[in-house]
Structure formats: structure tokens, C-alpha cells
Amino acid sequence: MSTRLKPKLLSVMKTYNKDQFVKDAIAGVIVAIIALPLSIALAISSGVSPEQGLYTAIIAGFFISLLGGSRVQIGGPSATFMVVVYGVVASHGVDGLLLTTILAGIILILFGLFRLGSMIKYIPYPITVGFTSGIALTIFSSQIKDFFGMTLENVPTGFINKWKLYFSSGDQIHWLPFMIGAIALIILIIWPKINKRIPASLISIVVTTVLVALLNLDVPTIGTQYANLSSSFPKPSFPEVTWNKIEMLISPAFTIAFLCSLESLLSAVVSDGMIGSKHRSNMELVAEGIANIASGLFGGMPATGAIARTVANIKNGGRTPIAGIVHAVTLLFILLFLMPLVKMIPLATLSAVLIMVSYNMSEWRIFKKLLSAPKSDVSVLLVTFILTVLFDLTLAISVGMVLTSFLFMKRMTDVTNIQGVEWNDEEEEGQLFDDELKEVLSDEILIYEVNGPFFFGAADKFLDSIQSLQGPSKVLIIRLRNVPVIDATAVHALNLLQDNCRRSGTSLILSEINDKPYQVVKRVGLVKDIGREQVCRSFNQAVERAKQLANH
């Protein structure tokens, strides 16, 4: 994973040729056909008009390929954002969404400039699976209305209230749209087993749209739902900005930026493994940021690198960002010249497409396996999943990260132990120290050893262990040979220990401290406070110094 801020397009064009252009062009057209129904369906389910999904795929897809750090990344709207986008539109309208998208873009650029591309690997897997599965269930829930042709007004955003309305509105089901949706869903399930090169979503849309048109079926379509659907390319415009709006929208903007970085970099890692390449993570984040700003200025939605479309690009021969650019140009052609045909697509078909997306997103097999993981991981998984479904994604990720952090600290605290030996002329069972200690261990010299990371989680354990010593001693040696890192809280604990030793007339010696921890204790003045001669880099030095002090 490279951190260079250089678009991948500049690197691949040095050896570009006509044969690769043909492969990229074919892949780009195929991916555009896959992206078309997804972009429209995601826009409708997010509470905006269908063409806004196309604007996003065209504009953001173009910039992600033009400036991105991956050879094969395909950008556009994603199901991952749908819940957040719907919430923003419901609360702040389309203008609020445009501003949120621009803010998310600015945050993503900052992520890239501050070289945070590699930080994504620190997101715990149970959190990723938990919120992804939660989003999948939420997306599935949002498609029930159109899939069953229900004529419901003001469907609640809450998961429980939404399903209460569905169960109490069985008489609102229209069986004709449901049958069209069911046919589309059956095609989406069966077609990949027949032919994997032609997208199943394209076949399902063509079959159901032709069926509705030829039989003149009374089924809701994009055209009947959105009579004023535009087929022109939008002009850029900046949404109204006030500090109050920024304060309200900065939280969903951060959520979108986080999800965008997570999905795009995960997609880039997957694609690297498929083509034997190496993406530039920070350049990818900068490109995603620019793409989102451009999408917001042109009336689009948040966008990211999409795993499914990226994999489809690779499988169809795409190997350079030219494929992504062709994908954007193809969608632009469809927007300008084929929108009358797009208007004929049944809404139930688009719902079937998103139901299939939600199933593929759910990762239910992985979810099931994780339930057999350690209890701490299971708790993080379930908390993130439940909060995503019942409340919102921002809360779910925040609580998941905090819970994971506490559990991690608990684990590290358990790993770190403080052990002491007091020699009383009898060999202790399970003796932990070397034989050479036997001659120096006595009532006057005590030795304690810290094993593991010495940080704030272990500081109290350290002080409790030291305070449990029985009787005064002339010298206390703290062995730190197995301490890889030390933080300010641990240094403070050593300071408190030094104060206690000074009051009781005990000399404190720090032994075998590693380079990094030594630099920390030196910078904060602990070495000077204890005395340079009392900080020994080897155990032999500590023993000799302890003998001198004990006999003094």
C-alpha cells in the first residue's frame, strides 16, 4: 500500500496501448450497464430523484478514475450510504444533502493529506461486519413498499415502526407489481448460473420492462413516480452555507467520509489481490474527496469506490483508470439520450435489484461464524449491528469503537503482569528469575518485573502490586526488560513510586529499560529525578548498584 500522492493514471499511461484500450472500453461499457440500475435504485431509496444517482455515477465515477490511487477502482453511489443519505434528506432536504456531500469530500481530502490511508486497517472486523449487516437489513426493509406495490404515505424511518406499518397494511399490497418484482428477483438469482458475463440486473430490467410495456400493465415505473425526470446534464451550483447548517451536518459528513474511506480502500485492497497491483491509499482518499465535492456541486450524492463494480471491471478486462472513465462517459450518454427508456423501468424491479444487493451485503455466513468468536468480539458485533438497525450508523460506529477500545485495553491489561520475588533462603516453586539473583535478594533488596505494555490500563495494577509489599527495604529494583512501550500514565505511576520510595528511604532503580521507553522517561525528566546512576541499562549494573546502596 503506497502513500504517494500521485494519480495512478499518470503511471499506467506510460505503457498504454491500443489493445488495452479496447479491453478497458468493453469493461467500462459493461460496468456502466451494471451501475445504471444501481445508481437509479439507490437514488430513489435515498429519497432523491433518479437522475441524481446518475449524476453521482458520472461525475464522481469520472474523478475517482481520473485522480484515484487504484488502477481499476470504479466509483459511484453506494448502498453503504443509503441510510445516512435518507436521514439527511428527510431532515435537511436535498440542499442539506449536497452540503453534506461537499463537507464529506473536504474531510476525505484531509484524510489523504494527513496520510490516514493506512489507518483503515485498525477498524476491528466485528464492527465492519456488524454495521454492514445492519445496513443490509435496513436496505431490505426500505424496499418492501415498492416490491409489494404498497401505496403508503410517509413511511417511518425507524426500523420497528416501519415494520409495524408493513404488517398493519397487508390490504395495501398490489399483486401485479409484486409479481413483476418477483420475476425480477428470480432472474437475479438464476441468471448468474446461466451466464456470468451478461449482468443479471440488465436481464431482469429488460425482461420486466418489456413485459410491462407489451402487456400495458398498471405497474408503477420511474416515469409515473417521477414525471419531471431530467435528461440534461446539470450546471454546477453551490448550496447555501451557514455555520448553523455546518454544525448540524458535520456529523453525517464525518460518517459518510469514514464509510467512503472504509469501502473504497477495502475495494482497492481486494482489487490489488486480483490484478497483482499496489494502490496508493492516500491518493485514493484525496480523489474520493474531490469526487464528492464535484458530485455535491453538480447535484449528486455521496460516492465511493464500489467493490462489486470494481470486481466486475476486472473480470471484464479493465486494467487501467480508462475503464472507469469510459464507464462515466457511457452513463452520460444514457442520461442525455436514453432517459425515455429509463422511465419505463418498474419500481418493483429496482426494489428487487436492491434486495439482491442487501443479501450480498449482509455477509450472513461471516456473521454466523463470528458468533463463535470470543465473547468480547461477539458483543461488539451485536451491539454495532443492533444500533445500526434500531438507531443510526454514527451511533453504532461510535459505540462500537469505544467498546472495542475498552475491551482492547482490558486485554492488554490482562497481558501485562507485575511479578516480584523475595528470597528467603528457600527456593520458591515456579522461580521466575535467574539463579544469580539468589545471592542479592534479601529483606533489604526487592525486585519487581513488569512484563508487557506499560500503559494507563496497567498503571493501577503496577501501583497495587508495589503497595502490597510487606516491610521496608533499602533498594527496590524495577526490571523493564519486557516492556516494549510506556505511556504518560505509566510514567506518572513511576513518579508516584519514586515519591513513596523517597519518603520511606528506599532507593529506586530502573533496570534494563528499552530504547523507546527510555527516551520517554528521559524526556519527562524521570531519569534526572531518580538519578542517572539509578537507571541501569543492564541487570548486572542494577545488581552492583543495589549492593552498594544496601551496604551503605
DSSP 197-225: SS-HHHHHHHHHHHHHHHHT----BHHHH
Identify whether 242 is part of a domain.
no
Contact status, residue 238 vs residue 257, Cβ threshold 8 Å: no
Tell me, yes or no, whether 544 and 426 share the same domain.
yes
Could you tell me which residue, 470 or 532, shows the higher pLDDT? 532
Identify whether 532 is part of a domain.
yes
In 191-342, beta strands by DSSP E: 304-305
Tell me, yes or no, whether 394 and 423 share the same domain.
no
Q: ∠ CA 490-494-496 to the nearest 5 degrees?
A: 115
Averaged pLDDT for residues 289-313: 95
Tell me, yes or no, whether 308 and 394 share the same domain.
yes
Tell me, yes or no, whether 335 and 440 share the same domain.
no
- Identify the pLDDT of residue 433: 46
Tell me, yes or no, whether 482 and 527 share the same domain.
yes
Give the integer Cα–Cα distance in Å for 58 and 299. Answer: 11
pTM tops 0.75, yes or no:
yes
Tell me, yes or no, whether 380 and 429 share the same domain.
no
Buried b (16+ CB within 10 A) or exposed e, 45-71: bbbbbbbbbbbbbbbbbbbbbbbbbbb
Bridging pattern class, strands 475-482 and 445-451: parallel
Identify whether 239 is part of a domain.
no
Give the integer Cα–Cα distance in Å for 473 and 476. Answer: 7
pLDDT in tens, 53-86: 999 999 999 999 999 999 999 999 998 888 899 9
Identify whether 485 is part of a domain.
yes
Identify whether 304 is part of a domain.
yes
Tell me, yes or no, whether 150 and 16 share the same domain.
yes
Q: ∠ CA 223-36-76 to the nearest 5 degrees?
A: 125
Q: Where does the pLDDT of residue 152 fall: very low under 50, low under 70, confident under 90, or very high at 90 and above?
A: confident
Tell me, yes or no, whether 372 and 444 share the same domain.
no
Tell me, yes or no, whether 501 and 386 share the same domain.
no
* Residue found by looking up cell 461464524 in the block: 369
At 30, which amino acid appears?
A: I
Identify whether 257 is part of a domain.
no
Tell me, yes or no, whether 431 and 509 share the same domain.
yes
pLDDT in tens, 159-206: 999 999 999 998 999 999 999 999 999 999 999 999 888 889 999 999
Identify whether 541 is part of a domain.
yes
pLDDT in tens, 155-170: 888 899 999 999 999 8
pLDDT in tens, 357-398: 999 888 899 999 999 999 999 999 999 999 999 988 878 888
**Residue 503: CATH number of its domain:** 3.30.750.24
Q: Which helix (H) or strand (E) holds 378?
A: helix 375-390
Please count the structural domains in the chain.
2
- Cα-based torsion angle of the residue sequence 451, 454, 459, 463 in order, rounded to the nearest 10 degrees: 40
Identify whether 236 is part of a domain.
no
Averaged pLDDT for residues 283-294: 97
Give the integer Cα–Cα distance in Å for 529 and 518. Answer: 14
Q: In which domain, by residue range, is 536 found?
A: 417-550
